[in-house]
Amino acid sequence: MTQLSGIQKLLKSFSYAIEGMMHTLNTQRNMRIHFGVAFLAMILALFLDLSKTEIILLFFSIVLVVAAELFNTAIEAVVDLVTRDYHPLAKTAKDVAAAAVLLTAGHAVIVGFFVFADKIVPLHLRHWDATGGMAVYVAFIPLGLLVLLLISWRAYLRFKRNHT
């Protein structure tokens, strides 16, 4: 039996990581969607005049979404390994992992909007010029608050229904 060298072990661990990525790409439709959108975003980044900060934010967002989807797939696999029967905790684990993916994907959409919007369709409406075009960006704040309030309200109603 031959022992692997340190470099061989490192290369083997990279191989396992690539296998995990390939498994997720082959079995998870959402990962293929994330990769497709990431590919388009990177193609756009090649042709638009992005700052170093914008490129970093773009790559950070892509990695965040892909990592969340990988964790989601891992959690689903472990839950399925432990039980095939319905169990509320299994459902909770899967739902929470899916929520993490949704949150990171929403973050990526917002980052993509901020990075690409002005470069693709420059906003030159007169009443926005006084604010430096910030009105459209500031609109994300109440939209984000609305989403948080709706989710919180739905969670409150479910909690109330389950505890009465």
Looking at the annotation, which residues are catalytic? 69
pTM over cut 0.85: no
Q: Is 69 a known ligand-binding residue?
A: yes
Q: Is 95 a known ligand-binding residue?
A: yes
pLDDT in tens, 22-76: 999 999 999 999 999 999 999 999 888 899 999 999 999 999 999 999 999 999 9
CB 98 within 8 A of CB 29: no
What is the CB neighbour count within 10 angstroms for residue 137? 17
Angle between helices 88-120 and 52-82 (to 10 degrees): 160
pLDDT in tens, 81-109: 999 899 999 999 999 999 999 999 999 99
Domain 16-122 has CATH 1.10.490.10: no
The domain locations on the chain are: 16-122, 129-164
Q: Is 76 a known ligand-binding residue?
A: yes
Q: Is the pLDDT of residue 124 over 60?
A: no
Q: Is 16 a known ligand-binding residue?
A: yes
Q: Is 52 a known ligand-binding residue?
A: no
Q: Is the pLDDT of residue 123 over 80?
A: no
d(C-alpha 80, C-alpha 85), whole Å: 9
**What is the biggest distance separating any 2 CA atoms in the chain, rounded to whole angstroms?**
76
Burial of 120 (0-12, 13-18, 19+ CB in 10 A): exposed
d(C-alpha 88, C-alpha 162), whole Å: 13
The Cβ-side half-sphere exposure at 48, using a 13 Å CA radius, reads 21
Q: Is the pLDDT of residue 128 over 80?
A: no
CA distances for 72 relative to 12, 27, 76, angstroms: 24, 12, 6
